[in-house]
Amino acid sequence: MKISFNEIWNFIDLLNTGEKGWLFTLNAGKVSVPDLTVNQLWDLKNDEDYDTEILPSIFTFREILWQPDVFTEASSSLPSLRILSAHCSEIAEQLKQIQSETGPVYARLIEGIGKCSQKALIELEDGPSITSKVLGDFRVSAFPIVKFFIFHPQNRNDYYKDAVNRLNYAVKIMLTQFHGRYTELADPYWQVSFQKSEKEQSQQQKPAKND
pTM as predicted: 0.87
pLDDT confidence tier of residue 169, bands split at 50, 70 and 90: very high
The pLDDT of residue 64: 94
pLDDT at 199 over 70: no
Among 131, 95, 132, 130, residue whose Cα is nearest residue 112: 95
Name the β-bridge partners of 26. 33, 190
Residue 208 vs residue 141, higher pLDDT: 141
pLDDT confidence tier of residue 83, bands split at 50, 70 and 90: very high
Instruction: Write the Ramachandran bin of 134: left for phi over 0, alpha for psi from -120 to 50, otherwise beta.
Output: alpha
pLDDT confidence tier of residue 193, bands split at 50, 70 and 90: very high
Domain locations in the chain?
Answer: 2-205
The pLDDT of residue 19: 73
What's the sign of the alpha-carbon dihedral 10, 57, 145, 70? positive
Residues 6+ apart with CB under 8 A from 156: 52
Question: Are 148 and 50 spatial neighbours (Cβ–Cβ below 8 Å)?
Answer: no
Chain segment 147-158, per-residue pLDDT in tens: 999 999 999 999
Average pLDDT over residues 173-192: 78
Q: ∠73-53-23 over CA atoms, to 5°? A: 100
Q: Give percent above pLDDT 70 in the chain.
A: 88
